[in-house]
Amino acid sequence: MRRKIVAGNWKMHGSRAENAALVETIVASVTSERTTCVICPPFIYLHETWRQLRGGAVALGAQDLCAEALGAHTGEVSAAMLKDVGCEYVLVGHSERRALYGEDSPLVARKFAAAHSKGLTPVLCLGEQLAEREAGRTHSIVGAQIDAVVQLCGIQSFAQAVVAYEPVWAIGTGRTATPDQAQETHAFIRQRLACEDAKIAAGLRILYGGSVKAGNARDIFVMPDVDGGLIGGASLKADEFIAIFAAADSLAVSG
């Protein structure tokens, strides 16, 4: 069985003081070793957050990275730098990066490879727009997003990776995919990868993201191919995030 994972993506929110208070509450409440907890603050706060985590049950992740290893890339942050400041995870291909910063699937695949090369666990974000879902194109869009990474990095790279299905129409909108919609797309993703390697696909953790709240988390996380959540807005409220983590943990298996 797969361990559940709950990751908080803070996006471009917070301040030193606000983050410190949030982290303090999360660290004090998240003690379970059965379920993985990750928080992803903005780059500028990563190291300070890592110090506060003190090597406990909560892991550190970044929201993005540069596809290049080093050099003349003003304003960018490399995989090695993320590792150096204590990150274990990094989001790649978040829909906001794809939509607002022009990241296409080949670039996302290179970022996935860069993360992997330094021992970070990439959290590959996938998802369709509302018009694409309504046109019945969810599988072709999400399938192509996965295929780009498999082509460049190989199926073996998914042995150390996490996938997050985040339908764009559900992000920050309050409109959540139904548990059945999430399950259906998660099963499709797993099946697509199983064609390459059944064992790796069976062990892969696939998170759902998009308006997850304490009130709906359990109903989504209980679905057989949903292995936890990638949480945006609700991860900025300690009580809400802790309740979402507890929902995942209540369904968790040891090991």
Q: Which residues are catalytic?
A: 94, 166
94/190 with CB nearer ligand 13P: 94
CB of 58 to ligand 13P, least distance (A): 17
Secondary structure (3-state) at 19: helix
Question: Could you say whether residue 127 binds ligand 13P (CB under 6 A)?
Answer: no
Dihedral (CA of 207, 94, 60, 10) sign: negative
Secondary structure (3-state) at 75: coil
Please return the burial class of 125, using the count of CB atoms within 10 Å of its CB with bins 0-12, 13-18 and 19+: buried
178/200 with CB nearer ligand 13P: 178
228/233 with CB nearer ligand 13P: 233
14/210 with CB nearer ligand 13P: 210
Which of 186, 206, 233, 242: binder of ligand 13P (CB under 6 A)? Answer: 233
- 117, 119, 123, 124: which is closest to 68 by C-alpha? 117
Q: Yes or no: say if 177 and 210 are a contact pair by the CB < 8 Å rule.
A: yes
CB of 214 to ligand 13P, least distance (A): 12
Amino acid residing at 100? L
Question: Could you say whether residue 210 binds ligand 13P (CB under 6 A)?
Answer: yes
Secondary structure (3-state) at 231: strand
Question: Could you say whether residue 166 binds ligand 13P (CB under 6 A)?
Answer: yes
Judged by CB under 6 A, the chain residues 171 through 190 that form the site for ligand 13P are 171-172
122/210 with CB nearer ligand 13P: 210
Judged by CB under 6 A, the chain residues 7 through 26 that form the site for ligand 13P are 9
Q: Yes or no: say if 6 and 34 are a contact pair by the CB < 8 Å rule.
A: no
CB of 42 to ligand 13P, least distance (A): 13
Tell me the two tokens of residue 27: 């660290």
Minimal CB distance residue for ligand 13P: 232
Question: Could you say whether residue 157 binds ligand 13P (CB under 6 A)?
Answer: no
Please return the burial class of 129, using the count of CB atoms within 10 Å of its CB with bins 0-12, 13-18 and 19+: middle
- Sites of contact with ligand 13P (CB under 6 A): 9, 94, 166, 171-172, 209-212, 230-234
